Amino acid sequence: MWGVLLTTETTLIIIKPDGVERGLVGEVIGRFERDGFRLEAATHLRLSGQQAEGFYAEHRGKEFFPRLIEFTTSGPVLVLALSREGAIERARGLVGATNPAQAAPGTMRGDFGLDNTRNTVHASDSPESARREVSFFFPELVGR
């Protein structure tokens, strides 16, 4: 049978301050694990302003950037490197649309997100972003 050959990828997931504060860490991780993701690395931290600005540098100059940085540094986050076949696209599907009002029911943002900023989970949106984001938090995983 012929089909699409998927390769194992690693993607970056951040359970944002609203998800940590509301006790959704176990549910978010559980959804990924039940879908076949493997945990490669994790760190629990509170991002500094400098770290948040570095991570979200591609959004610098956009009107929402200051609000994003303020929110991201408002409390602890859990950063995960997860892998599986087709990880990036599959994670985006599980997470849902950025705006929770537009995210499908059953997606994490559809079920837990509060607004465009407090949308519970960040997920890498492309292979290039995943490489950059994973290396930002877990440089030891790059090139494995």
pLDDT in tens, 58-68: 999 999 999 99
Q: What's the rounded Cα separation, in Å, for the pair 52 and 80?
A: 16
Domain 8-138 fold is Alpha-Beta Plaits (3.30.70)
Per-residue confidence (pLDDT) for residue 142, from 0 to 100: 82
Q: What's the rounded Cα separation, in Å, for the pair 77 and 121?
A: 10
Mean pLDDT of 10-25: 98
Residues tagged active-site:
122
Q: What's the rounded Cα separation, in Å, for the pair 74 and 18?
A: 9
Summary count for the chain: helices (H), strands (E): 7, 4
CA angle, 6 then 7 then 13, to 5°: 105
pLDDT in tens, 83-107: 999 999 999 999 999 999 999 999 9
Nearest in space to 105 (alpha carbons), one of 97, 89, 44: 97
Q: What's the rounded Cα separation, in Å, for the pair 28 and 132?
A: 22
**Do 86 and 6 contact (CB within 8 A), yes or no?**
yes
Buried b (16+ CB within 10 A) or exposed e, 30-67: ebbeeeebeebbeeeeebeeebbbebbeeeeeeeebee
9 CA to centre of own chain: 14
What pTM was computed for the model? 0.93
Per-residue confidence (pLDDT) for residue 2, from 0 to 100: 54
Q: Domain segments of the chain: what residues?
A: 8-138
Task: Assign 1 a pLDDT band (cuts: 50, 70, 90).
Answer: very low
